[in-house]
Amino acid sequence: MLKKLQVQNFKSILSDTIELGQLNVFIGENGAGKSNLLEALAVMSAAKQERLDIEGLYSKGVRVAKPELTFSSFHSKKPKPQIEISVAFQREKQLMTIKSVLETDMTDEAVVKWKDSFEQQAQEQEQQDILKHVLNISAYEDKVKLMKALSEQRRTEKSALYHPIQNYLIYNLNTKALRGLSSESKKVPLGINGEGLDILLANFSELEFTQLQEYAYFVNWLDEIVIDTEDLMKFSDLKQGKSISKLYFKDKFMMKKENIFSAENANEGVLHILFYLALFISRRTPTLFAIDNIESHLNPHLCTELTRVICKLAKKTNKQTLITTHNPAILDGLNLNDDDIRLFEIYRNDEGHTKTRRIQLNPETKPVKAKLSELWMRGYLGAISKQF
């Protein structure tokens, strides 16, 4: 699991370090830098996949800007030509750290040089680690054998360590994508805007679908989820908008001969809820990912219950996630007595630098009867506008 994230010189983050849990929620003013934090990890992911071009960054969920705007630029601070991103993973009983240094000379070819810098540093570090193990061996043949063995072991360890980072994505749902009316993202099994939900559900195992059905209570009118794998229902004029989604729903309150409708006619809430549940349940989705603005299109009471459920699912399916929200109702689904569930305030200090502050309950004080949502709205948690 990712335990620590350090970011330097990336957009509004001049320098910051965050100790992460399994499910992490970030709150703050608009423009405080919440999305920048998610994107720093996405840039590192793109670097490891050698995809630091515009298409590669966009496919990770990054809002792509010209290189000059990707580097921090503050009054009284001399601009630095590199971004440093480090992550530390908990593996068994030890922490393993990956560090990326992304360099540029502020020209149009900057993204290409970022990739080269990252790979070169990784190779140099690997050579240094292997040499430490062979200095005390006298026989040349033994040195060669050990170097090969250690090199292969290192590659295996790095592959396992990099896997969560390589597959990291930022999901920011778009209702048209969920309805099958647009498909900008080509990611599988789920696109970053909601594409491919029908395909993922069609490939659910029996166990996964059983898990999904446990949460049918989220939608009180839902009778059945239908996946038209042969796409034959399109000939019944059920998709007037020509959606490419093969997802349909049956409404238990409607007459049976007219109770089925396509994803393009479904309300936004059911599509968003279904997407998030599938994301956490599926074994095919990333083990490390982010969700930007999770509350979009959801009723406040629904937000609270969704948060409770995904906290449980994250542990059950071994998923780790970073979530941003502007809805106080999301906080009421968090159990901050559980150290794996963490809440952070994202703010900009007097110099404009993005900083994080973990919000924790004090076990020595009496339990507070007010809900976290109420504490946030009253200003006790920070993360609110101060100019009005």
Q: Give every CB contact of residue 211 below 8 A, 6+ residues apart in sequence.
A: 281
CA dihedral over 136, 137, 138, 143, signed as positive or negative: negative
* H or E segment to which residue 300 belongs: helix 300-317
Judged by phi (left if over 0) then psi (alpha if -120 to 50, else beta), residue 106 lies in left
Helix 34-48, helix 110-134: angle, nearest 10: 70
Instruction: State how beta strands 341-348 and 23-28 pair.
Output: parallel
266: its two tokens: 């479904």
Distance CA 381, CA 364 (A): 18
Nearest alpha carbon to residue 61 among 92, 30, 35: 35
299: its two tokens: 């009723």
In terms of residues, how long is the chain? Answer: 388
CA 211 to chain centre: 22
Distance CA 233, CA 240 (A): 11
pLDDT, one tens digit for every residue, the chain (388 residues):
899 999 999 999 999 999 999 999 999 999 999 999 999 999 999 988 888 888 899 999 999 887 778 889 898 788 888 899 999 888 766 677 777 787 765 555 555 455 545 555 556 666 666 555 555 555 555 656 666 666 666 665 555 567 889 999 999 999 999 999 987 766 778 999 999 999 999 999 999 999 999 999 999 999 999 999 998 888 888 888 789 999 999 999 999 888 999 999 999 999 999 999 999 999 999 999 999 999 999 999 999 999 999 999 999 999 999 999 999 999 999 999 999 999 999 999 999 999 999 999 877 666 667 899 999 999 999 998 888 7
Residue that the structure tokens 């000059």 belong to: 68
For the chain, the domains span 170-285
The answer to whether 327 and 295 have CB atoms below 8 angstroms apart is yes
Cis amide linkage into residue 81, ω under 30° from 0: no
